[in-house]
A = this chain, B = another copy of it.
Amino acid sequence: MEENQVRSDGPIRLLSRRVTISQLADSLSVSKGTVSKALNGYSDVSGRTKARVAEAARKMGYRPLSHAQAIRTGRSRSIGLVIQADEYDGYNLFLRDFLAGISQSTSEMGWTLTVASSNSYQDFQQVVCRMVEQRKVDGFILPRILVHDPRYALLKRMEIPSVLFGRLWESEDDLIADSEAICYDIDGELAFAEAVLRMQKHGHTRIGFVGAPSEYTYAHIRRNGYIFGMEKAGLEIDDKLIVSDIRTRKNGAQATQWLLETEEPPTAIIFATDEIAMGAYTVASQFNLSLGHDLSISAYDGAAWGRIMSPALTSYQVDMGKAGRRLSSLLIGHIEGKKLDDQEEIAPAKFIRGGTDGPPALSSYELGRKFRRSVNGNGSQLVRQIGERQ
């Protein structure tokens, strides 16, 4: 039966036959140089030939080997993402969808995603240099932009293409006028302004804000959104209702408590991130406050676990998958020299209705009284643990 001596059984060898540029050239009776030029849009090959080549390439399923291209051109059709392993990212709300988005988009364009990790900004530099020197990647996506981001500065000085997830920010109140930077970001300003207005519509007049670590540009953007919303709502901006530089749930709880300890406490608090908003749950359960009634809160990120809290966290969700797709597409376009009509692309966040906000059940005064009474009634380790503000 089996007369074919050459092993016809055994593992399938799908890796078998890639078609090379020479084969393609032979089948068209042209030189491989011409094929290459045709495919890369050189001007010294006729339209007819270009069409023939393109057609044949499609038919034979020819895909140039990017390694081979890289060695001559220095470009590898690959983009890089270095994940900052040293950075605090307690609840992983970041990565999966983002990565899926990036890799989906890159692979659609025939590119590749290479990921590395670094443990410090020092380390980042080495990692980047190595990858670039080795021509592993042609550009980088930078997530979580810092106020003076050394990563962006480095890449810019080295003239390595990059796109930012987030925006640049110079000093306390100025967006950097770096017309070269390509950004994609979510409109945090808008989301936080809306959040304020939503609280106002519920009937709140004392609305607090708990901000993220000010090293991140988004911390300033969100804070500005809050300020803007307060102005638009015609509410007084009271510095005593604003806390900054909060990163963890634990500190979020401290911040919440500080706000409730003020003379005229906020009946609604807006948190810069879902994670720090968790602190409000801690405080609420400690001091017997009902979220969504006694105290209203809303946050930002739209993390999945926010919905399993009870009550579910009202938040603004960012579409990480889309962010990844857009960023990778912007980066590849930039590397390929496409001119963008706009260097900055801003997408809206999506409101996620939860159960943590509603009309105030208590006035600011009543809330303060209830809180203080609960503090005293409580064995209140928490209070002692927390100590003085600032």
Contacts and interface: CB of A to CB of B under 8 A. Distances in A.
A62 B78 CA distance: 23
Contacts of A104: 85, 117
A115 interface: yes
16 contacts: A11-B158, A11-B159, A18-B134, A63-B130, A65-B71, A66-B67, A67-B67, A67-B76, A71-B71, A83-B99, A91-B92, A91-B304, A92-B93, A94-B96, A114-B115, A305-B305
A55 interface: no
Contact of A13 (B63, B107, B127, B158): B158
Q: What's the number of copies of this chain in the assembled complex?
A: 2
A267 interface: no
B100 A96 contact: no
Given A15-B159, A78-B114, 10 more contacts: A13-B159, A18-B134, A68-B71, A71-B71, A85-B100, A85-B104, A91-B305, A95-B96, A103-B116, A104-B117
A177 interface: no
A247 interface: no
Nearest to A78: B114
A352 interface: no
A18 B129 CA distance: 11
Interface of A: 11-15, 18, 63, 65-68, 70-71, 76, 78, 83, 85, 89-96, 99-100, 103-104, 107, 112-117, 127, 129-130, 132-136, 156-160, 249, 278, 281-282, 285, 304-305, 308, 310
A136 B282 CA distance: 48
Contacts of A63: 130, 133-134
A167 B202 CA distance: 53
A115 B103 contact: yes
A85 to B, nearest CB: 4
A107 B124 CA distance: 13
A157 B96 CA distance: 29
A382 to B, nearest CB: 12
Contacts of A107: 116-117, 127, 130
A254 to B, nearest CB: 15
A63 to B, nearest CB: 7
Contacts of A103: 83, 115-117
A136 B115 contact: no
A112 B95 CA distance: 19
Contact of A135 (B67, B78, B116, B285): B67
A304 B94 CA distance: 14
A177 to B, nearest CB: 19
Nearest to A286: B310
Which residue of A11, A92, A281, A282 has the most chain B CB atoms within 10 A of its CB atom?
A92
A270 to B, nearest CB: 20
B134 A117 contact: no
Which of A104, A112, A127, A278 counts the most B-chain CB atoms under 10 A from its CB?
Answer: A112
A92 B304 contact: yes
A250 to B, nearest CB: 9
Nearest to A128: B14
Contacts of A127: 107
Contacts of A70: 67
Contacts of A249: 308
Contacts of A130: 63, 107
A157 B304 contact: no
